[in-house]
Amino acid sequence: MPTSPAPEKPVACQHDEARHLLAVGAGLDGALRLLISQFSVLQTRSQLLLTVATLALTITGFSGPRIAAAGDFQRLALAAGLALVLGSMLLILGGSLRIRWVTQFRRPEGGDDAALLAQIVCYRDRKTRLFFIEVCLLLAGLTAYVAAIIGYFLVGKL
């Protein structure tokens, strides 16, 4: 029998945002629609990151051996880039692309609509922080890739 996910633990600013969402959305339905659209933005951007990471891995498959053969720096930069991009991909797949449906959230015992929304806002904020880490890892990996390629061009052999 499946168990319910652990409840989120919202902080004061998330409770404030939940009350604001209720006002802006003119009730729970509108507030949920706003949050769902925010989750869609995270989903779309995460898919974009995954696409960029896949392109980087594809480039490595085709030209990686030639770049790595150019020297120690190129080899190390390429390996670091590969590790960082793969780390980013794993976080994307297990983090921001991981699904928890809005309908899985439950109003806390004795809580109101704002308490329910605060849990969802807390979850959204956690996914957003994870997305930032994924972006940073991917950018670091791509930077290492570019450094390897620049090193390859500067060496000019092969």
- Note whether residue 5 is domain-resident: no
- Note whether residue 4 is domain-resident: no
d(CA 30, CA 142): 39
pLDDT tens per residue, range 2-19: 555 666 777 778 888 888
Instruction: Tell me the HSE value of 155 on the side-chain side, using a 13 A CA sphere.
Output: 18
- Note whether residue 33 is domain-resident: yes
pLDDT tens per residue, range 35-82: 999 999 999 999 999 999 999 989 888 888 888 888 999 999 999 999
pLDDT at 1 over 90: no
**How many structural domains compose the chain?**
1
- Which residue range forms the structural domain that includes residue 125? 12-155
- Note whether residue 20 is domain-resident: yes
pLDDT of residue 6: 67
- Note whether residue 111 is domain-resident: yes
pLDDT at 93 over 80: yes
- Note whether residue 1 is domain-resident: no
Query: Mean of the pLDDT values across residues 129-136?
Result: 96
- Note whether residue 88 is domain-resident: yes
pLDDT of residue 63: 86
d(CA 69, CA 150): 14
Q: Which of 89, 100, 15 is nearest to 48 (CA)?
A: 89
pLDDT of residue 99: 86
Query: Mean of the pLDDT values across residues 88-92?
Result: 95
